[in-house]
A and B are shown apart, each in its own frame.
Chain A
Amino acid sequence: MDASASQVTPSEPDGVTPAPTSRPLEIASAVGALVFLGALAFLARRIEVRAETGGIDPRWWPELLGTVGVVLALALLVVAVVRPMPRDDLESSTHRGFVRLGLTVAITAAYLVAWPLVGFLVATALFLVAVTAVFGGRGWGALVLFPAITTGFIHLLFDVLLEVPL
């Protein structure tokens, strides 16, 4: 419903700034889709098949998807150039927000690396301390008690009750 897109969800609270329409972003996303689906169409042709049967073989379905996808992505590219879609259903992002996101992803990645190395309990407790701090938690309740309790609860639920080793 292209027309309805201009209708902001009525319940958005005051003070929320909708994200601005952005032609470069629309073009970039269309190009992204084109590259992904083009790669799909290309790689599908190079799938190695042990017994060549022709017809509907393992390559057929991904190739079909890739081809249809490339056509649609091209259409999207045209739309993006001619009439970029509004993004007013999204809140606008902030610089601080992206910093927060970057930190969160980095800490989570570190957590996934550390988990097998130092064990679930230590890694999870440290992870929770770190993310809670990034999310703005301060004080002993947020940075000591909360991580300890959450870690303990998960440990109790899985290792002890369900006998699933973490």
Chain B
Amino acid sequence: MNRRSTHLLTAGAALAVTALTLSACSGGEGTGDGGGDAAYPSEDITLIVQAAAGGGSDLTSRALANELEPILDTSIVVENRPGASGSTAMQYVADQEPDGYTIGFVPVEIAMLGHQNFDVDPADYDFLGQIMLAPGVLVVPADSPYETLDDFVQAAQSQELSVANSGAGSIWEAAALGLADETGAQLTPVPFDGGAPALAAAVGGQVDAAVAGSGEVSAAVAEDQVRALAIFHSERHPDLPDTPTAAEEGYELEFGGWGGIYAPAGLPDDVRSTLESSIEEAATSDGFVETVTASGALPVYKSSSEFTEFVSSEYERFGQILGNG
């Protein structure tokens, strides 16, 4: 037994030496005294994502990180901190030092969670720029009697219609509530565990309709598994050219799953401007635009000041919708 374990140990020792050498190499640039006077960035930057690896937010964040790395000339470590509707990550970001070495992907939920008993306040963050938008789309089963948004709303005046969404407290539930508020329709939001099962319920005809992001529905629409009645955005979506906007149908409603980059409030001015310009460059780069477009979302960029204003207007809007809901 002893001989065997010694053998194992020798084998492992080689591995350990390699590991330590490697860590010394990769850690080398990061070990300079943090917050020193060296030009920002002098260390690795951590990008916090509020969802688990593999989801839309994660994908977008990693694509942006890829573009940001050469621009900022540093490594960007994407760190997933899923949990509690994203509030775990948001609270974590708020608690970090505002030195520009911790930034995060901020989803639309930041404007909603505060109204749902979570301890999340947009005032705790510096918003550095919006990078994407996935507008909501209302779809009905392929054999549904409703051909237009108006049909649907009319029918829902006299009878209760079920609308699937990706989860309790999600943006798409809020969209259904918003539509009901605006039109006086009787809509029952039915929360599912994610966008895919919600869409599946519409494909299978178990619900009267579903609201989901453009990326989630475009394939099913193209396959005629569901019919898209309207998109909640100011203009039509390139993947859904035949789907009218809600405004075209006479309902001024916009709902979107947007995402941007934020940092804990109080970034030093120079750090902030470096980050803002790099994010603009990365978010409008061909590589990033391509990835976002392929995923079915829109590569919408908003500058830091526009985005900050947008977040606070969304925050107020959802306060009303969720308060009434």
* Chain A interface residues toward B at CB < 8 A: 121, 141, 145-146, 148-153, 155-156, 159-160, 163, 165
Does B77 contact A153, Cβ atoms closer than 8 Å? no
Partner of A149, one of B12, B23, B78, B79: B12
Q: How far is the CA of A56 from the CA of B5 in the complex (A)?
A: 60
Chain A minimum-CB-distance residue to B117? A50
B22 in contact (CB, < 8 A): yes
> Which residues on the A side are within 8 Å of B17 (C-beta)?
152
Q: How far is the CB of A158 from chain B (nearest CB, A)?
A: 10
Q: How far is the CA of A159 from the CA of B24 in the complex (A)?
A: 12
Partner of B5, one of A141, A151, A165: A141
Between-chain CB contacts (< 8 Å), 24 pairs? A145-B9, A145-B13, A148-B16, A149-B12, A149-B13, A149-B15, A149-B16, A151-B16, A152-B16, A152-B18, A152-B19, A152-B20, A153-B12, A153-B16, A153-B19, A156-B19, A159-B23, A159-B26, A160-B19, A160-B23, A160-B26, A163-B77, A165-B46, A165-B79
Q: How far is the CB of A152 from chain B (nearest CB, A)?
A: 3
Partner of A156, one of B6, B18, B77: B18
Chain A binding surface, main DSSP class: helix
Q: How far is the CB of B63 from chain A (nearest CB, A)?
A: 15
Q: How far is the CA of A129 from the CA of B15 in the complex (A)?
A: 19
> Which residues on the B side are within 8 Å of A150 (C-beta)?
12
> Which residues on the B side are within 8 Å of A152 (C-beta)?
12, 15-20
Q: Number of B interface residues, CB 8 Å?
A: 18
Q: How far is the CA of A156 from the CA of B5 in the complex (A)?
A: 21
> Which residues on the B side are within 8 Å of A163 (C-beta)?
77-78
Chain A minimum-CB-distance residue to B116? A50
Partner of A141, one of B9, B23, B26, B79: B9
Q: How far is the CA of A146 from the CA of B16 in the complex (A)?
A: 10
> Which residues on the B side are within 8 Å of A121 (C-beta)?
23
Q: How far is the CB of B228 from chain A (nearest CB, A)?
A: 30
> Which residues on the A side are within 8 Å of B79 (C-beta)?
165
Q: How far is the CB of A10 from chain B (nearest CB, A)?
A: 28
Contact with A along B1-16 (1 / 0, CB 8 A): 0000110010011011
Chain B minimum-CB-distance residue to A152? B16
Chain B minimum-CB-distance residue to A147? B16
> Which residues on the A side are within 8 Å of B78 (C-beta)?
163
> Which residues on the A side are within 8 Å of B13 (C-beta)?
145, 148-149
Does B19 contact A155, Cβ atoms closer than 8 Å? yes
Q: How far is the CA of A156 from the CA of B16 in the complex (A)?
A: 8
